[in-house]
Amino acid sequence: MNTQDVQQILLQREAQLKYELVHQLNQQTQPSAQVQFNMSLTELIELMSEQRLTDTPLFGQLTRLDAALCQLELGLYGLCSDCESDIEAERLATDPTEQRCAHCAEKYNQQHRHELKLSH
């Protein structure tokens, strides 16, 4: 898949997530604080952080999308955020916002499970 194809997929994902986020945030905020669809990803991330919505699945998807778009702009798209190896094509095809190769994702998931066990 070339860069333009990836960018198009990510921009479609951005439109979907923005629609969901704008709908969700507008239901939770006061009328004077209405969220606009034309807000940037950064603005939406900041707004969700201010409203303490960082634990929602949509927030995670939004930050991953923002990271993927930044990586695409920098020419780093498809590189693992941990080891900087290429992320497997099938992983990116399944989730174009994937940030880790299979090996590092497995390692991350094991560490994360361990952290969850320690906090309970």
89: tokens are 């094509």
> Which of 96, 73, 14, 69 lies closest to 87 in space, CA to CA?
96
Provide the whole-model pTM: 0.80
Give the separation between CA 67 and CA 60, rounded to whole angstroms: 11
The CA distances from residue 116 to 76, 89, 109, 110, 112, in Å, are 31, 30, 10, 10, 6
pLDDT value of position 101: 97
Give the pLDDT score at 79: 96
pLDDT score of 34: 61
| Predicted pLDDT at 38 | 81
Q: Where are the domains of the chain?
A: 1-77, 78-120
- The mean pLDDT values, 10 residues at a time, for the chain of 120 residues are 90 90 71 68 87 87 94 95 96 95 94 63
